[in-house]
């Protein structure tokens, strides 16, 4: 009886997040949050293959470490972020559609979040779109503007709402939204980063508040993992943002499109092979 209990206890421990696993997930978060490749799809694969997708703390961890990613944008663009009052109002205007539809459609969004096939499908479709984006907006890249007006911010905000469908990628949706408003790729990407700050902060704060209201809390080792995750995510996100802007300006979106298609196919293969995949 004792040996059986020890075996069960050992198996349970294997499903708990380790420091190494926390670092891996934080690296993935930092790399994918601001790239048009869907951080959700990557988290599904990574956490499921590591066997920690079913752990309740894993879900909270992937939400809480977004603070590190948010801070990376503030630090990296500190001179531009702390500039004029108009800048904050434009971010507010861009954020409002997501705030409104996020609250209105929360139950529907939660239902979609439980469907792995939705993520795989949107990754594939989004990948196909990205393959052709450069061609569609070729003229915009040459003649496009870097200026963001209030109407532009609002329209990009509506594009951001599309990313409520898991697998679409908030970054991809908002950057394409900027391109439709005749912004060049660099300007569209940077406004996407700025818009992520209120959007991600609100979503993360809301989910954590709900977590604590339900009577949950963190153990000492879990607090350590959260600190490590935010620090690693912060550093990696800074590197990823700098590299992404440089790559995007030179080469465009096509490679990201192919990558999304491969990732979507990988999720489908794992799903139909019987691997248990969990979405956050």
The whole domain housing 136 covers 19-272
Cβ neighbors of 87 (< 8 A, separation 6 or more) are 80, 81, 194
- C-alpha–C-alpha distance, residues 278 and 273, integer Å: 14
- For residue 279, tell me if it sits in a domain: no
Tell me whether residue 277 is in a domain: no
Q: What is the predicted pLDDT for the residue at 10? A: 40
Domain membership flag for residue 171: yes
Residue that has been written with the tokens 């992404």 in this structure? 244
Task: Name the residue among 230, 209, 195, 204 with its Cα closest to residue 81.
Answer: 195
Tokens of 50: 């590591």
Model pTM? 0.84
Confidence at residue 113, expressed as pLDDT on a 0 to 100 scale:
66
| 188 is a domain residue | yes
Please indicate, yes or no, if residue 280 is contained in any of the structural domains.
no
- Would residue 266 count as lying in a domain? yes
Structure tokens at 166: 């898991």
Tokens of 48: 């499921």
Contacts of 22 (CB under 8 A, 6+ apart): 61, 225, 228, 229, 232
Residue 14 lies in a domain: no
Would you write out the chain's pLDDT as a tens digit for each of its 280 residues?
444 433 333 444 446 889 999 999 999 999 999 999 988 778 878 888 888 877 778 878 888 898 999 999 999 988 877 777 888 899 999 999 999 998 888 777 767 666 788 889 999 999 999 999 989 988 876 666 778 899 999 999 999 999 888 889 999 999 999 999 999 999 999 999 999 999 988 888 887 887 788 777 788 898 999 999 999 999 999 999 999 999 998 899 999 999 999 999 988 998 888 776 665 5
The pLDDT assigned to 279 comes to: 56
- Residue 62 domain-assigned (yes or no): yes
Q: Give whole-number Cα distances, 232 to 19, 38, 50, 77, in Å.
A: 11, 19, 19, 19
Structural domains in the chain (count) = 1
């Amino acid at each position: 009886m004792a040996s059986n209990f020890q075996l069960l206890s050992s198996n349970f421990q294997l499903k708990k997040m380790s420091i190494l696993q926390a670092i891996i997930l934080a690296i993935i978060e930092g790399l994918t949050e601001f790239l048009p490749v869907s951080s959700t799809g990557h988290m599904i694969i990574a956490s499921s293959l590591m066997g920690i997708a079913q752990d309740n703390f894993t879900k909270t961890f992937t939400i809480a470490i977004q603070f590190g990613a948010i801070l990376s944008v503030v630090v990296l663009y500190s001179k531009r972020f702390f500039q004029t009052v108009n800048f904050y109002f434009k971010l507010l205007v861009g954020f409002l559609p997501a705030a409104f539809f996020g609250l209105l459609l929360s139950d529907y969004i939660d239902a979609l979040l439980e469907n792995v096939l939705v993520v795989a499908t949107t990754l594939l479709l989004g990948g196909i779109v990205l393959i052709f984006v450069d061609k569609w907006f070729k003229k915009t890249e040459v003649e496009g503007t870097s200026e963001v007006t209030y109407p532009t911010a609002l329209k990009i905000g509506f594009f951001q709402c599309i990313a409520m469908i898991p697998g679409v990628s908030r970054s991809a949706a908002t950057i394409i939204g900027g391109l439709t408003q005749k912004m060049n790729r660099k300007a569209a990407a940077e406004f996407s980063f700025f818009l992520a700050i209120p959007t991600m902060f609100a979503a993360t704060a809301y989910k954590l508040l709900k977590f604590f209201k339900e009577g949950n809390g963190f153990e000492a080792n879990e607090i350590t993992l959260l600190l490590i995750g935010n620090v690693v995510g912060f550093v990696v996100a800074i590197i990823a943002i700098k590299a992404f802007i440089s790559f995007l300006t030179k080469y465009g979106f096509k490679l990201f499109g192919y990558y999304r298609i491969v990732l979507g196919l990988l999720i489908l293969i794992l799903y139909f092979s019987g691997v248990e995949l969990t979405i956050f």
